[in-house]
Amino acid sequence: MAKKKKRDESEAVQSRNEEDDSELVNGDSLETKKKKKKKKKRKKEKNKRQNEQNDVEPNEIPTVSIAVPGSIIDNAQSLELATRLAGQIARAATIFRIDEVVVFDNNSSSTDDSRVTATADNSDENESGAAFLIRILRYLETPQYLRKCLFPKHNNLRFVGLLPPLDAPHHLRKHEWASYREGITKKERHPNSAGTLVDVGLSKNVLIEEVLEPGVRVTVPMGTNRNLDADLPRQVVSSSKPREEVGTYWGYKVRYASSTSSVFKDSPYMGGYDYLIGTSEHGQFVKSSELTLPSFRHLLIAFGGLAGLEESIEEDKNLKGKNAHGVFDAYLNTCPHQGRSYLYIASVLSRTNQPCFAEIRASKLFSLKSSKSDIIENFTTMDYPQQLDSRPSLQGSF
């Protein structure tokens, strides 16, 4: 009996020791289990992205678009401040390699699409905020040697001389040689050819095979032969060719949308945008280290005006019954606990694109070779200028 009791006590002690060991192991795993689980989840998501990436055609490079409201210009106190704000958006779009900038109207009922398009192209000085923003964005994206031909003098271009150059890869100097150059077709004809002469910003015009009207902006492949005296005609290519062939960022396109719904509906890409991100103080805050993006072909990041995207969606009759969370695949707050009632869009744009593009590069969706992409790593938050510096204004557009 005593032996049995002793044996039972020994087994009980052994059982308790095993339980203690089990609890210790489980205690360690409780802390490490979450880490292992997160690691496993990240690995799973990474494998999923890689599998999805394999479904994308190898020659197809994903595009990134941003949508900004024209009403932000109406809030500027002067023409100079409005110009600086537009310049900051153009600068951020270039640094973050944006392919398309969509300028949309918050109030579609009061704005005529044709009127905005017209005022963005002619000398009408009573233009809306959207038309003004489109004008400045297009002007700054254009290489310097083409601006005089493509943009007549205009009152709203008075202060563009104050803005720093974008220094985009296609803004080449006269002494620089590149695989491609932007040019403008000339009225003069080549004496020995039926083609068209094009000014590409070099010492001589180059000849292209196509017969085009004067004043048309084109992208010309330059090749490796630097002999401009040769009469060998070149062939005009799509402006997306430099990006597709050599991975060089080649500027952004500017599109006008008459309403919030037109931003999505009138996408120039086949199949439209396949991933939509909205930004708002009412969105979900996600740390940049935790942000994950699925594989996409055409990404759109939308920014709201003074009242935010919520009001723009509510006022759009084509989006009736929908809320912001239902319109976008992700609705993010990129600046939580902000101390201002309204963040200027240049600040939000930079804060949003930093983590987004870090994730895009991490997922290897962009195989671009431009050395200027390194700027993104050190890009600091920009803000709307509250006070102008004491530098003298540079009058004139050119």
Res. 377: pLDDT tops 50: no
Environment class of residue 185 by beta-carbon count within 10 Å: exposed (0-12), middle (13-18) or buried (19+)?
buried
pLDDT category at 387 given cuts 50, 70, 90 is very low
Q: How far apart are CA 261 and CA 106, in angstroms?
A: 10
Q: Which residues contact 337 (CB under 8 A, 6 or more apart)?
A: none
Q: What angle do CA 285, 42, 331 make, to 5 degrees?
A: 25
pLDDT tens track for 57-101: 455 789 999 999 999 998 889 999 999 999 999 999 999 899 999
Res. 51: pLDDT tops 60: no
Decide: helix, strand or coil at residue 19: helix
Count other Cβ atoms within 10 Å, centred on residue 305.
22
If residue 217 lies in a helix (H) or strand (E), which one and from where to where?
A: strand 217-221
For 138, the token pair is: 């297009």
Q: What is the pLDDT of residue 35?
A: 60
pLDDT tens track for 287-300: 777 778 888 999 99
pLDDT category at 306 given cuts 50, 70, 90 is confident
Q: What is the pLDDT of residue 389?
A: 34
* Higher-confidence position of 328 and 352: 328
Res. 357: pLDDT tops 60: no
Helices (H), 56-121: 71-74, 79-95, 113-119
Task: Round the average pLDDT of the chain to a whole number and report it.
Answer: 76
Q: What is the pLDDT of residue 178?
A: 92
* Higher-confidence position of 39 and 319: 319
Dihedral of CA atoms 30, 32, 35, 36 in degrees, nearest 10, equals -100
pLDDT category at 125 given cuts 50, 70, 90 is low
For 382, the token pair is: 């920009």
Q: How far apart are CA 77 and CA 214, in angstroms?
A: 39
If residue 301 lies in a helix (H) or strand (E), which one and from where to where?
A: strand 298-302
pLDDT tens track for 211-246: 999 999 999 999 887 878 767 888 999 999 999 998
* pLDDT (mean) for 337-345: 54
Among 325, 258, 239, which residue's Cα sits nearest to residue 102? Answer: 258
